[in-house]
A and B are shown apart, each in its own frame.
Chain A
Amino acid sequence: MSFKQKNIMVTLVNFSLILLFYLLRVSQLLRNDNFSSTPIFRLWGIIIVMAVFVTIAATILTHIVSAIIAAIRTGQKNPKIEDFEDERDKLIDLKGTQFTYTASSLGAFVAMLTFVFGQPPLVMFSLLIFFGVLAQVMGDITRLVLYQRGF
C-alpha cells in the first residue's frame, strides 16, 4: 500500500468517526428537545474545526507511522518514504474530488427540498453538513477503489 493510500485510509476513518459523532450529537439534541439554532450552529463549528484538524493530523500521523514501519522493515535510520504525487495520483485525486462535489451538490439539493415539505431552516442546515461530510467519505472511498483497481 502506497503512502497516498495510507493517507486516504486514515482520512476516511477520521471522517467516518466525525460523521458518527455528528449523527450521535444530532440524535441526542432531538431526544432532549434541544434542536434549536444555538446548539446546531455550535455543532457546525465543531465539525468544521474537527475536519480541518483531522486532515492535517492525518497527514502528519501517516508520515510518522510510515517512517516507523519503513525503518523497522529496512533497518535504515532515515528511510525513504514515497510521498510525492505523480500524474496518476493527481488524476485519482481529481476523480475523487469530482465524486465529492457531485455527492455534496446532490446533498445540498436534497437539503433544499426540506423547505418544499415545510421543514424549518435548521433541518436544512443539519442535512447540509451531514451530506458535506458524507460526500467527503464517499470521495475517499472512490479514491481507494481507484487505487485498488489500478485506475
Chain B
Amino acid sequence: MAKSSISNNIRTLRFMHSEMTQQDLADKVGVTRQTIVAIEKAKYSPSLEVAFRIARVFKSPLEAVFSYDEEEESI
C-alpha cells in the first residue's frame, strides 16, 4: 500500500520521552501496539481523535507530531 502523505515524528518523540515503548504509548492512547507500529511506518493515518490523544501524551501540539506533505500529494 502506498505511504500516506501524512508523516509523523512519533518514533523521535518516544525516544525523547524516556525511550517510551510502543506498548506504553499504545496503552496511553487506547489503541493496540500494532496500530502504533502502522502509524509510525506511515501506513495508517489515525483519526483526529487518536492523533490528538498521541499529541497529548507527548504534551506537544498536533503539528509537532504530524505533518502533511503537500508535494507527495501532488505527485
Contacts and interface: CB of A to CB of B under 8 A. Distances in A.
A150 B39 CA distance: 8
B12 interface: no
B22 interface: no
> Taking chain B's interface residues, is the majority helix, strand, or loop, or is none over half, making it mixed?
loop
Interface in A95-143: none
Contact of B43 (A82, A84, A87, A151): A151
A86 B35 contact: yes
B50 interface: yes
A149 B32 contact: no
Interface string B24-36: 0000001111110
Contacts of B34: 2, 88, 147
Interface residues of B, number: 15
Contacts of A84: 32
A149 to B, nearest CB: 5
A149 B43 contact: yes
B46 A87 contact: yes
Nearest to B35: A88
Interface in B31-59: 31-35, 37-38, 41, 43-44, 46-47, 50
B1 A151 contact: yes
Nearest to B29: A86
A86 B30 contact: yes
Contacts of A89: 32, 35
A18 B39 CA distance: 36
Contacts of B30: 86
Interface of B: 1, 30-35, 37-38, 41, 43-44, 46-47, 50
Interface of A: 2, 82, 84, 86-89, 147, 149-151
Given A89-B32, A149-B43, 5 more contacts: A84-B32, A86-B30, A87-B46, A150-B1, A150-B44
